[in-house]
């Protein structure tokens, strides 16, 4: 598919908002195939304008309004992605982050490949699931815009996709549909119970079939839904089912269970620095005793990265 006309001028985000680093924004962009318009946020590495030769990996992050600025985020909390990316830079790894805000009216439908029986019963007014259209927007329009506008490393090895809750669901779905585009996935507190069994089977089939080298970060909290034991059980059970499928296929995976973590932006902010570090370079470990490469050092530096983020 031919990419649509680009999103226009990439403007600097107002510095008075207190975001750390170089955040920019495409304003009021028409999103082909999604029947809506949105700002799109782009965080650039500190040396991006000074070093004109370097090219950078890209991580595409869903719920982009919740990443950087508390004034535009849900409930005034963010992932502190700007701080996580800055900490990653201080450890020697630079990544461009692209944040795509969710639909204000149809978030579940836009991120869902299916709508399972439980969510239909709880929300009978939901429309149709159209995660395929969202993934097509990412791969056929947004990624070509980003690659043509910025100095990226456009190959799949250096293209990541990540999100939380339904954003985790659509991140996994993006890889299932387009493993030729996405080489790494971050799925935080994924609400796999929303699309249900069909989505889980899609993931299991995709990871068990031959696929390009890929890596996955998954996590879940012990207090995702503390007032709903059935939902809490589903978060844990479904995530560990996906992890088991990845493990069985010998696909690189990091899994984190935080018994104290709630289903909220501050919990994902806590886990984002180490997740980005692992997805960017930490997965490429060297055998103990072998010469340590630059990539191999990142695993050793993961704790330092988290400490730098918390300063």
> Does any domain span residue 292?
yes
Tens-digit pLDDT profile for residues 243-273: 999 999 999 999 999 999 999 999 999 999 9
Whether 1 maps to a domain, the answer reads no
What's the rounded Cα separation, in Å, for the pair 166 and 303? 28
Containing structural domain, residue 84? 11-310
Residue pLDDT tens, the chain, 311 long:
555 678 999 999 998 778 999 999 999 999 999 999 999 999 999 999 999 999 999 999 999 999 999 999 988 999 999 999 999 999 999 999 999 999 999 999 999 999 999 899 988 999 999 999 999 999 999 999 999 999 999 999 999 999 999 999 999 999 999 999 999 999 999 999 999 999 999 999 999 999 999 999 999 999 999 999 999 999 999 999 999 999 999 999 999 999 999 999 999 999 999 999 999 999 988 888 877 555 445 455 554 545 445 44
Using a cut of 0.85, tell me whether the model's pTM lies above it: yes
Let me know if residue 3 belongs to a domain: no
Q: Is 41 in contact with 13 (CB distance < 8 Å)? A: yes
Has residue 2 been placed in a domain? no
Residue 243, in any domain of the structure: yes
Query: Do the domain assignments include residue 6?
Result: no
In a domain, 118, yes or no: yes
Residue 4 in domain = no
Total domains in the chain come to 1
Q: How far apart are CA 301 and CA 87, in angstroms?
A: 11
Q: How many angstroms from the chain centroid is the CA of residue 2?
A: 25
Q: What is the 3-state secondary structure (H, E, C) of the chain?
A: CCCCCCCCCCEECCHHHCCCCEEEEEEEEEECCCCEEEEEEEEECCCCCCCCCCCECEEEEECHHHCCCCCCCHHHCCCCHHHHHHHHHHCCCCCEEEEECCCCCCHHHHHCCCCCHHHHHHCCCCCCCCHHHHHHHHHHHHHHHHHHHCCECCCHHHEEEEEECHHHHHHHHHHHHCCCCCCEEEEECCCCCCCCHHHHHHHHHHHHCCCCCCEEEEEEEEECCCCCHHHHHHHHHHHHHHHHHHHHCCCCEEEEEEEEEECCHHHHHHHHHHHHHHHHHHCCCCCCCCCCCHHHHHHHCHHHHHHHHHC
160-191 pLDDT, tens digit each: 999 999 999 999 999 999 999 999 999 999 99
Neighbours of 256 (CB within 10 A): 16
DSSP lists the bridge partners of residue 98 as 42, 60
CA distance 254 to 247: 10
* CATH number of 259's domain: 3.40.50.1820
């Amino acid at each position: 598919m031919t990419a649509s006309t680009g999103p226009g001028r990439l403007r600097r985000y107002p510095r008075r908002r207190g975001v750390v680093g170089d955040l920019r924004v495409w304003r009021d962009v028409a999103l082909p195939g999604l029947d809506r318009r949105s700002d799109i946020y782009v965080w650039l590495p500190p040396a991006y304008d000074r070093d004109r030769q370097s090219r950078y990996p890209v991580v595409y992050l869903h719920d982009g309004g919740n990443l950087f600025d508390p004034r535009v985020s849900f409930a005034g909390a963010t992932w502190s992605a700007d701080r996580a990316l800055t900490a990653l830079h201080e450890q020697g790894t630079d990544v461009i982050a692209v944040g795509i805000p969710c639909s204000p009216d149809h978030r579940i439908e836009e991120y869902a490949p299916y709508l399972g029986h439980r969510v239909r019963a709880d929300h009978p007014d939901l429309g149709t699931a159209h995660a395929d259209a969202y993934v097509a927007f990412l791969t056929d329009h947004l990624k070509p815009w980003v690659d043509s506008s910025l100095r990226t490393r456009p190959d799949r090895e250096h293209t990541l996709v990540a999100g939380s809750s339904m954003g985790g669901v659509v991140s996994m779905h993006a890889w299932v549909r387009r493993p030729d585009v996405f080489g790494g996935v971050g799925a935080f507190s994924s609400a796999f119970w929303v699309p249900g069994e069909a989505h889980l089977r899609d993931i299991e089939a995709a990871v068990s079939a031959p696929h390009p080298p890929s890596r996955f970060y998954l996590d879940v909290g012990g207090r995702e839904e503390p007032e709903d034991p059935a939902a809490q059980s589903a978060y844990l059970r479904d995530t560990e089912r996906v992890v088991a499928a990845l493990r069985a296929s010998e696909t690189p995976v990091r899994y984190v269970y935080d018994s104290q973590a709630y289903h909220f932006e501050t919990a994902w902010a806590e886990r984002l620095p180490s997740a980005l570090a692992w997805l960017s370079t930490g997965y490429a470990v060297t055998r103990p005793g072998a010469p340590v490469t630059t990539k191999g050092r990142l695993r050793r530096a993961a704790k330092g990265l988290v400490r730098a983020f918390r300063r």
